[in-house]
Structure 1
Amino acid sequence: MRQATFHYDPTKTSFPILIAICLAHLSNDLIQSIIPASYPMLKENFHLNFTQIGIITFCFQLSSSLLQPIIGAYTDKYPKPYSQIFGMLFSLLGVIVLAFAKSYASVLVAVTLVGIGSSIFHPESSRVAFLSSGGKRSLAQSIFQIGGNTGAALAPLLLAWLVLPYGQKHLLWFVVVVLLAQLILSYIASWYKQVLSSLQNQRKKIIQIPDIPAFRIHISIGILLLLIFSKYIYIASISSFLQFFMMEKFNISESAAQLYLFYFLFAIAIGTLVGGAIGDVIGRKYVIWLSVLGCSPFTILLPFANLFWTGILITMIGFIMASAFPSILVYAQELLPKKLGMVSGLFYGFAFGMGGLGAALLGIWADHSSLTYIYYFCSYLPLIGIFTYFLPDLKKIKFKLT
């Protein structure tokens, strides 16, 4: 019996693929998020200071950030449907090394391997989300992103349940997550391969590009990277040091402190989906503006809040800040639609790089001052969102075909 010919329709949203790539992103970011979630355990096991904690984040984020633009630019020319499966093998090896780590150096090796896996995963996965969007790009990117955010939110809870009561070697539980992810990625790779074949068989490939001067596109990309800088330095202060801040300020247990990190990360997951749906309706510029600048009143209040209000504020900050990255990434993809992989790699890489650099510098600062001073400083970073004013409104700009 002759098999039906696959035809890719760019106007039709493929929700099965979006759900699959969402679950794959959940798995990837769950693995990478066990690193900051395990900091209290690693700090105790290896007698680390905050500078060394920051260097762990720096090594992980650096290995993620440097490779992503290179991989994205390469896959723009030579798409690799099975690259995510290959990348996840690095993450698998990283988890195993971390579970059996006997020294600080082996911890750095482990997190670097996980970072390499993440750097291979993101550029092509973001392209899959774009291709399966059917034109609903913010929604598709948000569904993709909510997977990552949910994985990040689950990491501290699963760590507190499966690892902290039993010891470091129980990190091997997360190998199961990697193996399940490989099955999902195999399904996605099969679809992606058919899409590439279908696109090659089409005689004409039409791309819409914004009808604005090149210099304004470059300035806009610069502003978007500045917004990424403010967002991910702030997120680094939360993901790397919130547990220690809560334990020090309110004298609560390690498991209780993990719960507040979960509040923040889970709020990010919910806010991402809401922000993505709104972005397709009102325009991504306004979502970016609200997301970055809008959370500044809450970040400024956070260092002064009591335990109850800290939980409320950290949830509000995560929810409002959440939609910034999907909207920023889709906005950048619309500015440079011919370079989807490079743009995805650049923005994911820059985000991870700023998070890693920020964690390292904040860790050094914490050792020489206090965690409270860190949050005083970081609370003003979202005010950088005022620069969103200078971005062009793409809903009001004409696009030309090429």
Structure 2
Amino acid sequence: MALASTNQQAPQGNQNSKTAYSILFILGLCHLLNDTLQSVVPAMFPILEKSMGLSFTQLGLIAFALNMVSSVMQPAVGWYTDKRPMPYALPIGLSSSLLGILGLALAPSFWMIIISVIFIGIGSAIFHPEGSRVTHMAAGHRRGLAQSIYQVGGNSGQALAPVITALVLVPLGQFGAIWFTLVAGVAVILLFYIASWYASRLSLKTPVKKTKISTENKVAHSKAIKLALLILVIIVFARSWYGSAISNFFTFFAMESYGVTIAQAQIYIFVFLLLGAVGTFFGGPLADRFGRRNVIVFSLLGSAPLTLALPYVGPTISFVVLAIIGLILLSSFSVTVVYAQELLPGKIGTMSGLIVGLAFGMGAIGSVALGTLIDAVGLTPTMISVSFLPLLGLLTFLLPSDEQLREWNE
């Protein structure tokens, strides 16, 4: 593609190369461990609300600090390492998360919690674009499947948040988070192995071939790519804000509307996130078979009727509805990353950092906005309002088709 960078140093994979499944599965496990560490933060919300008397706005600010640091840094990390690959940034980043988890367990005040989650956010910001780059390198011709293996690890880690709350934080309190320093330690060790493989692949790097096209076509492609990226941003916004509403605040909605305990309310979140992980895994292979854009369209518009119904169904039906929403809505999580990478194939880290970083950033802004809205108007009106977000998926029909992307990249 003409718009691809010509100074790419790291290998970006070969469509005909063999898929390195062992690397993908280890990296997926590391992603699970990394996102498990992040999941400790929202899992602590019900505990911190009671022990420190925090408001919903303060809880939203904690999520904002975690996700905004990660989202702002991810594109920058991806851009830098597109030019100067740094394999051992992966274990270094997880070491930052380890320090953050330790601080979170011992934090005596709201502001110390903020500082601790910033360290966790820095580790995540380094891990995600570099992890996605290694995934692309190991993918061979199965890019959708490879990204799904990688991303399903992260979504599985996020799904552990309610389990962490029910089994660890409810009985042990805030200090129980210290056990997750062991999780961080395991991730650091595994990432040293991944970094070694990554470094060995750098010796096999091949430069990106520059393609000559006319100025007119270059301008047309540039405009189409900018429009597609804008639409992807809107899609990530809709999916992330809705996911933030469920992950961070549906616990309180269930407690208020259904009269359940903290531990019981966590089951709803677990069901949503667990089936979301399943959807993430199957979304990639389905995109390889039926097309990236088709899966993105289906993920939003297919889940919209269910999100609109969720605030009005009872406690039992909610389990089923949340499960199906998670399965469908998050099926496009890995697909949007691959789609963005194919829009600008010479900017693998940058595109991964942009799309995944946007997911964190939009979730961060959503946490604060939704927390403030809940404080102002209440839980139920807020949940009804966010149920309309997946309807923004109508814009996905404006995305270039997979065939157009292949033509641009030839």
TM-score, reference length from structure 1: 0.94
Partner deviation per Cα, 1:95-133 (whole Å, 9 max, x = no partner): 111101111111111111111110011111000111111
Given the alignment of the two structures, is residue 126 of structure 1 paired with residue 132 of structure 2, yes or no?
yes
Give how far 1:206 is off. 4.5
Task: Kindly indicate whether the alpha-carbon contact (under 8 Å) linking 2:47 and 2:169 is maintained by their aligned counterparts in 1.
Answer: no
Whole-angstrom distance in 2 between the partners of 1:15 and 1:395: 27
SS of equivalent residue, structure 2 residue 124:
helix
Query: Aligned AA for 1:239?
Result: S
Deviation for aligned residue 1:89: 1.1
1:296 to 304, 315, 327: 304
| Cα deviation code 1:209-245 (max 9, x no counterpart) | 9986111011001101110010001111011101111
Output one character per residue of 1:51-72: Cα deviation in whole Å (capped at 9) or x when no partner. 1111111111111111111111
8 Å CA contact 2:13–2:139 kept in 1: the answer is no
For the 8 Å contact 1:34–1:156, the answer to whether it is kept is no
* 1:144-155 pair list within 5 angstroms: 144-155=150-161
- Distance 1:401-1:167 versus aligned 2 partners, 3 A rule: closer
Q: Find the aligned partners of 1:144 and 1:324 in 2 and give their Cα distance.
A: 13
Moved more, 161-170 or 16-25: 161-170
The letter of the residue matching 2:127 is F
Counterparts of 1:156 and 1:207, CA distance in 2 = 49
Partner of 1:255: 263
Stretches of structure 1 lacking an aligned partner (at least 5 in a row): 1-6
Rounded to whole Å, the distance in 2 between the matches of 1:25 and 1:305 is: 34
Which of 286, 299, 306 matches 2:294?
Answer: 286
C-alpha spacing 1:45/1:63, structure 2 compared with 1 (3 Å): same
Distance in 2, matches of 1:357 and 1:325, equals: 19
Residues 13, 208 of structure 1: CA spacing in aligned structure 2 closer, same or farther, 3 A cutoff?
farther
Q: After TM superposition, list the pairs within 5 Å mapping 1:46-61 onto structure 2.
A: 46-61=52-67
1:13 aligns with 2:19: yes
**CA–CA distance in structure 2, aligned partners of residues 84 and 164 of structure 1:** 32
**Coordinate RMSD, CA, aligned:** 1.8
Matches within 5 A, 1:20-169: 20-169=26-175
Residue 225 of structure 1 pairs with residue 226 of structure 2 = no
Gaps of 5+ in 2: 1-10
Shift of 1:162: 2.2
Q: Which amino acid aligns with 2:269?
A: L
Q: Distance in 2 between matches of 1:384 and 1:266?
A: 24
| Alpha-carbon distance, 1:397 to partner | 4.8
Give the aligned residue type for 1:70: A
User: Secondary structure of 1:331's partner?
Assistant: helix
CA distance in structure 2 between the partners assigned to 1:334 and 1:268 by the alignment: 24
2 CA distance for matches of 1:328 and 1:264? 20
Query: Hey, what does 1:191 align to over in structure 2?
Result: 197
Partner of 2:253: 245
Cα distance, 1:177 vs structure 2? 0.6
Match of 1:333 in 2: 341
Pick the aligned partner of 2:323 from 285, 301, 315. Answer: 315
Q: Displacement, 1:398?
A: 4.2
Match of 2:8 in 1: none
Moved more, 18-27 or 206-215: 206-215
8 Å contact kept, 2:31–2:154: yes
Shift, 1:395, TM fit: 2.9
| Mean Cα deviation higher: 150-159 or 104-113 | 150-159
Aligned length: 393
What residue number does 2:4 align with? Answer: none
